[in-house]
Structure 1
Amino acid sequence: MALTPQQYELVAVERYKDFIHKRNLATDGHVGYARWLLAALLAVNGGALVAISQLGEISGEAFKAGGFWFLAGLMSAIASGFCSWINLQLLAAGFDRWINPEMLFDPSKQPDGKIHRAKRIDFSLGCAIFFGVVSWSLVAVGAWRIYEVYAV
């Protein structure tokens, strides 16, 4: 069933608004979650290093036992944040390709529904998740190493 020009315009306007809304939701949600996750990872790993530095005479020994793991956790957290930022940039660029004002009047300008750079988006998201999990895991490893050294 073919749409009249008036019907097409109504549908196109709604699609256009929907694309903008989805881009904004994706951006806001992604940034908020990434900010919280990165802050938590940096605080936990960094806090562990600060705690080790406050141990006085045994801080050098404690750093040898667990400091490397917490430093690696900090680096993994930063890598997670970087991958998350790349993912957000790719996702926003994909939505921006879909948001074309010409689609409001020209049916040939409608997006084809394909996600631009979908494999890169999936890969960068996977990397962000991977490095986040690694960072949390390194907190546990560092804590366990210190516990092993100082457990009575």
Structure 2
Amino acid sequence: MLTQSAFLTTFGRIRGEQQKMGGLSEDSYKEVAKLTYDGMLEMRRLSYSTQADYGKWLISSIFLMHGSAIAGLAFRASATGMPPYLSAVLWFVFGMILALGAGFSAWWNFSAAADQYNTWAKPAMLFDQSSWPTEAAKAREIEATKWLSIGCGVLSVVALLGGAVHVLWTWK
């Protein structure tokens, strides 16, 4: 996920370069602007790529753990009749829902970051200093979705542990 500090560091670097450009010649400005523009396009590409990779990994890993637990409990139930620990399945179902929430929030986080880089990367900035990126409009959304994803992921792992404890407690 894109952290607010990394996001604001990038934004601060852009603002610093913009302030330095007051004394630059037109050719120097165009060179700095081209490098910055290309950097923003690369950050946008990386945000999209990371968004997809992270989402796939997170969803598949947590689903595998929760799904295995559900399958194990269902198999044990069919072999021995209706056991008392079958109610632990709810922990794992809840964990799967939270895993989806974590994956969705991470996807939303990188989508917001890519959107911000897309907004910043205006071709006009290559020629016009007034088109230089000036605001971090997505900073709050990026920070909120980062924490939402972390929260859902942690709660999903807690649900996995809660289900395991539930099974152990009722297995006695």
2:60 corresponds to 1:39: yes
Query: Aligned letter for 1:73?
Result: G
Match of 1:133 among 154, 157, 164: 154
Match of 1:142 among 163, 167, 170: 163
| Superimposed CA distance per residue, residues 119-141 of structure 1 (whole angstroms, 9 cap, x where no aligned partner) | 11111111011001100111111
Aligned to 1:57: 80
Match of 1:6 among 4, 11, 27: 27
| SS at structure 1 position matched to 2:23 | coil
Match of 2:121 among 61, 79, 99: 99
Query: Aligned letter for 2:52?
Result: V
Query: Aligned letter for 2:98?
Result: S
| Superimposed CA distance per residue, residues 17-51 of structure 1 (whole angstroms, 9 cap, x where no aligned partner) | 11111222233233322321121111111111011
Counterpart mapping for 1:88-127 below 5 A: 88-112=110-134, 114-127=135-148
Counterpart mapping for 1:58-73 below 5 A: 58-64=81-87, 66-73=88-95
Aligned positions, number: 149
Query: Aligned letter for 1:103?
Result: M
How many Å apart are 1:94 and its aligned residue?
A: 0.7
2:35 corresponds to 1:23: no
TM-aligned CA distance change 1:59 to 1:91, over 3 Å: farther
Extract unaligned runs of 5+ from structure 2.
1-21
Give the percent of matched residue pairs that are identical in Structure 1 and Structure 2.
Answer: 25
Q: 1:53 touches 1:59 (CA, 8 Å); kept in 2?
A: no
Inter-partner Cα distance in structure 2 for 1:59 and 1:122: 45
Q: Which moved more, 1:4-13 or 1:81-90?
A: 81-90
| SS at structure 2 position matched to 1:116 | coil
TM-score normalized by the length of structure 2: 0.80
CA RMSD of aligned residues (A): 1.5
| SS at structure 2 position matched to 1:115 | coil
TM-aligned CA distance change 1:83 to 1:136, over 3 Å: same
